[in-house]
Amino acid sequence: MSQRGRHRSSPARLAAFEALFQVATKDAYANLALNQVLSKHRMDAQQSAVCTELVNGTARLLGTYDRVLETAGGRPLSSLQPAVVTVLRLTTHELLSMRTPTHAAVDAGVELARDAVGQRVTGVVNAIARKVAAHDLDEWVTLLSEAAPDPVDALATATHHPRWITEVYADLLGDEARTALEANNVAPVPTLVVRPGLVERDQVDAPDATPTTFSPFGLHRAGNPSDLREVRRGQVGVQDEGSQLMAWLASLAPTSRDAAGLPWLDLCAGPGGKAALLTGLARQRDTWLLAGERAPHRADLVRKALSAYQDGWAVVAADGTRPAWQPGSFGRVMADVPCTGLGSLRRRPESRWRRTTDDLDELVALQRQLIDAAWRSVAPGGVLAYVTCSPHPAETIDQVRAFLDRTPGAELLDAPALLPDVPGAGHPGDARMVQLWPHRHRTDAMFGALLRKPS
């Protein structure tokens, strides 16, 4: 990339280019790359907002923009160097999804190409950008949809998702699928969670916050969470309402009397959001939480998340498939297993284009190992909460059904009955399991099932 001469591009565009180039070439997560460049570059509030929109918006519609660019340019993007592709993606977002005038967006793209790559690529950027500008986003979607081989592909194009994800939504939701997919394209307002025993929701000094609809622990609040004193003190964290509901669900599940006084386990605890909420709830029941996390650096994140509690917890860096504790030690176990993350597409906009069915196969095998290990950790009469941030059947209902088939005596509890104020929470394939949806509940598409061990 060019480092010579004085940059004429705005700081927001240069920073957005830097973040998305990391996503394209280093497999970085867009939200982490964005936070990095916002911390690195000194920008005012307006420039920071523009940078955020450029990064998140471009990442969210990445696949659609790539199809537009290949159609407009008449060549595969693989024929262009990654830096040029990144410039074109950002320029396309300005042209099709922001209010930047056409001539200004094209000129900005050319200047960004000159600053970030070099003078020699400005011609190709200018030519392709002008062809992109020949249609607005709706017109491009119509053109691409008309070329789709079938209705599922057309729906994927119209809602800016890969086909394989669109198929999952269509199979689960039928006519409701379009609304659900479109909800993934709306960035959520940040959601906070109070830590039980440290602060009450009405004590948080945030008059501009609104209570979450279903979780008794949550608040919606726009802006930077670290502006709040309670967040800086660790009394309040950042956590989607759906994740809050899964931790709460695990705490509500009925156990036997013998299991009730035993400690709780969070099997895959990193980075610590659910573990912090579970710790507060466990302390209210006169017990404590063990948080396990395989990666040492993520175990450190869990410790940081729990550090506001003086007691009631312990963290161990351990592989959940090979537990570092005795079998049958815990009255409640949460296995929030690694998954495709298809339930958090609102907050992680690039993940829909990053994940593939190959990833799914590897994750399903790991999930099977983890649910079996978690079950061995449950005491007689105790409960296992199996949780994923995904609506994909292979990671959710199929995983639970397969577990029940190979595990005599395991009882599937009616989880939605424990959340009576959450409408439409039953899974479409089995109403005893919970499946949340962004378009219904304004949460991530979290899945939860409760399994009780015989006394």
Active site residues: 389
- CA distance linking residue 259 with residue 264, whole number of Å: 10
Cβ atoms of 436 and 335 closer than 8 Å: no
Q: What element of type H or E holds 109? A: helix 102-116
- CA distance linking residue 375 with residue 17, whole number of Å: 46
C-alpha pair distances (Å), 343 with each of 258, 354, 396? 35, 14, 11
- CA distance linking residue 106 with residue 130, whole number of Å: 7
Cβ atoms of 232 and 226 closer than 8 Å: yes
Cβ atoms of 259 and 331 closer than 8 Å: yes
Could you tell me the end-to-end alpha-carbon distance of the chain, in angstroms, rounded to an integer? 64
- CA distance linking residue 215 with residue 336, whole number of Å: 18
List of residues 6+ apart from 250 with CB closer than 8 A: 264, 278, 332, 334, 383, 385, 387, 448, 450
Quote the DSSP letter at residue 26. H
- CA distance linking residue 164 with residue 184, whole number of Å: 15
- ∠ CA 338-342-343, rounded to 5°: 90
